[in-house]
Amino acid sequence: MKQLLLILLSILFIQEIKAKSYEGYKVYKLKPENINHDKIIEYLQEDSIFYFLDEGQIESGKPIDVMIEQQYQNYFENMLEKNKFKFDVLVDNVEKVLEQERLDQRLTRTSGLGQVTFNSYMYYSEQMAYLHRLGRDYPEIVAILKLGESYEGRDITALRLSSGPSTDPSKTKPVIFIDAGIHCREWIAPAVALYIIQQLVENPQNALFYQNVDWDIVPNLNPDGYEYTQREDRLWRKTRRPNPNQPNYCMGTDLNRNFDHYWMYAGASSNPCSEIYAGPEAFSESESRAIRDYFLANGETIKLYLSFHSYVSMVLYPWGYASTLPEDHEELQRLGELAADAIHRSTTINSRYTVNTSTLALGPGAGGSDDWVKGVANVSLAYCFELPHGDSPFPFLFPARQLFAAVRETFEAIKVYHQYIENKFWNNNNQ
Ligand SMILES: [Zn+2]
């Protein structure tokens, strides 16, 4: 046993040495105040040495976070000062924050295979082992579905939870579809999806949640990227499919720009090195195709779509391609506010959500999954749910010690969504 422990520790140590170092990298919060500042950001965004962390676009008055390695910092700060461009240094040395996270991970990693934990972030293989264990232990309500495969051949797995087909021949049960981890560095998102799964399947008090409503939950939609963030580069966002004739750091596609609804219309890039690279064509990625194919086969029954991201504490809904409002925006806004209110009432980590369309909140980002689900798969209630960042100095690194509080409060929003879907599509369904 001791020997096994030593081997495991040495593997961890080797992995740490191999991992990309962010030594000396700083994170700046830029505060654009005029069009000149906006133009500067636009110009910087074209260059991959400036690593923009926000999902959204530039807008005067809206701060934006950017990470820069040491050798460009002087040039950058001088340029800002020359242009009277205000900024704060948010993180002085990114690697220090990453080190702390790795340490926390190692100290709190307690789950055995087939178990789930919310004290630390699980590996993809551990997440899958948990789902399969639930499939074995609860065969009467749980089915494990393979929706597709990632580029590197990992399963895109959904857990389907159902008490069985509708016994009323005049009604079909509505389905709530949840995915997480499209952006693989947003580790809190798969953890939230796993907590929803655990609460629904393993907490008998919640059995009512799947009497009249079925659930499809994909806790990790970008497993290649997730593994890569666990072992190599903590801040990777895209898929891991190489782009022809491009260096390693220009690999991958932003899955949340890859869906075929106004693809590449705005807020997406055709540059493979960009963090918001939309891919060579819509649905170029097997991970987004897995979602597409599942919705095209089951779309009629799915009544709510939730896609979990982090880190800006926002309940967002379409459209993400432009500032146009969907016809049913009032309903989307109202339901989003009910969900946000439920979190506000229960939060112990001071989470404060706002509710809006993606474009109005963050600027356009065409090709998002929620836009496609609503616009093409005709699921009218579709949300991009941006989880909070807790008190981490680096927004993507939601601290493991606050994870349980975050997943628990988010489940309060899930209860609200469930009640709404059950009322609208089951209790009041007179089809
Ligand atoms: Zn995201």
Instruction: Please give the distance, rounded to the nearest whole angstrom, from the Cα atom of residue 351 to the centre of ligand 1.
Output: 18
Cβ-contact 343, 266 below 8 angstroms: no
Residue 144 pLDDT greater than 60, yes or no: yes
Instruction: Determine the pLDDT at residue 13.
Output: 44
Beta carbons within 10 angstroms of residue 114's beta carbon: 14
Instruction: Determine the pLDDT at residue 105.
Output: 80
Cβ-contact 364, 321 below 8 angstroms: yes
Instruction: Please give the distance, rounded to the nearest whole angstrom, from the Cα atom of residue 186 to the centre of ligand 1.
Output: 6
Instruction: Provide the edge-to-edge strand list for the sheet that holds 64-68.
Output: 51-52, 64-68, 26-31, 86-91
Residue 4 pLDDT greater than 60, yes or no: no
In sequence order, what are the residues at sequence separation of 6 or more whose Cβ sits closer than 8 angstroms to the Cβ of residue 74?
Answer: none
Residue 15: pLDDT band with limits 50, 70, 90: very low
Terminal CA-CA length for the chain: 61
Mean pLDDT of 311-315: 94
Residue 43: pLDDT band with limits 50, 70, 90: confident
Instruction: Please give the distance, rounded to the nearest whole angstrom, from the Cα atom of residue 17 to the centre of ligand 1.
Output: 27
Domains and CATH numbers, the chain: 26-92 (3.30.70.340), 108-427 (3.40.630.10)
Rounded to the nearest 10 degrees, what angle do helices 329-346 and 403-422 cross at?
140
Instruction: Please give the distance, rounded to the nearest whole angstrom, from the Cα atom of residue 309 to the centre of ligand 1.
Output: 4
Q: Is 154 helix (H, G, I), strand (E, B) or coil?
A: coil
Instruction: Please give the distance, rounded to the nearest whole angstrom, from the Cα atom of residue 310 to the centre of ligand 1.
Output: 6
Instruction: Please give the distance, rounded to the nearest whole angstrom, from the Cα atom of residue 205 to the centre of ligand 1.
Output: 32
Instruction: Please give the distance, rounded to the nearest whole angstrom, from the Cα atom of residue 216 to the centre of ligand 1.
Output: 20
Structure tokens given for 257: 């720009």
Instruction: Please give the distance, rounded to the nearest whole angstrom, from the Cα atom of residue 275 to the centre of ligand 1.
Output: 11
Mean pLDDT of 164-169: 92
CA pair distance 393, 328, nearest whole angstrom: 37
CA pair distance 389, 397, nearest whole angstrom: 7
Residue type, 164: G
In terms of Cα–Cα distance, which of 323, 404, 397 is closest to 364? Answer: 323
C-alpha atoms less than 13 angstroms from C-alpha of 330 in its C-beta half-sphere? 0
Which of the residues are catalytic? Answer: 386
In sequence order, what are the residues at sequence separation of 6 or more whose Cβ sits closer than 8 angstroms to the Cβ of residue 339?
Answer: 315, 353, 413, 416, 417
Measured in degrees and rounded to the nearest 5, phi and psi for residue 277 equal: -65, 125
| Rg value, the chain, Cα | 21
